[in-house]
Amino acid sequence: MKVVCALCLIIVHSNAVNGQDWSRYIPQKQRKDIIKRASRASGVGAVLRTQTLSGAIWITEIVARALISDMVDRERITKEEAESRYRAIRPENTYVIGILTRHLNAGPTIIGGSLSAKQVLDPIDKAALFIQRQDDQKNFTKGEVSDRDFDIYLEGIQAENIYIVIFPRKNREGEPVVRVVTDKIEVQYFIGPKKIVLDYKIKDLVSRLEDL
């Protein structure tokens, strides 16, 4: 019996750490800086008498790897499941941005906790999500909130809601919104009546456009 139990433990442990063999895996100590570089914060807006903070995280190739690597460690998923989630969170020919919100007077918040796109409070205007060029704001693309609920953990970031927003890489005329890595791009959305505009220098995020 002792031999059988020991064998079971070995098998369970082997399956549990299998996800760390995922070819895109990023060690935990490297993730916080990756997330920080891709994150932006806004000011405070009022929504239905509730003060709301907001921000965004551009889910680049390396950010997606960091997020899925955290799932590998926390959930002990396999490398096959890790790859499936990575591809789901980065659909082809799109940019992916997470919009985060936190209500300052709505009770306890999650600090370094898991975030869900399905919360009771829903402050953002889902019909008005855009990314646009800073030098030509008529060159923009409109986003849609993903219907897939990703349980994402962001260490050190206070938030209650995260909305995974998918943006086409080309505008309505078929022209690219981001052309070169030296471009400056704005993320624009509304929380109640307050317009939020967050600036990104693409060169601060990636060195190749395909990693954006």
Angle at 119 between CA 116 and CA 122, to 5 degrees: 115
Q: Inform me whether the pLDDT recorded for 91 exceeds 60.
A: yes
pLDDT digits (tens, 9 = 90+) for 122-181: 678 889 999 999 999 999 999 999 887 666 766 655 566 788 999 999 999 999 999 999
79 Rama sector, left if φ>0, alpha if ψ -120 to 50, beta otherwise: alpha
Taking CA atoms, 59 is separated from 97, 106, 138, in Å, by 5, 27, 24
Sorted by where each begins, the domain ranges of the chain are 2-211
93 Rama sector, left if φ>0, alpha if ψ -120 to 50, beta otherwise: left
Provide the pLDDT confidence category of residue 16 given band limits of 50, 70 and 90. Answer: very low
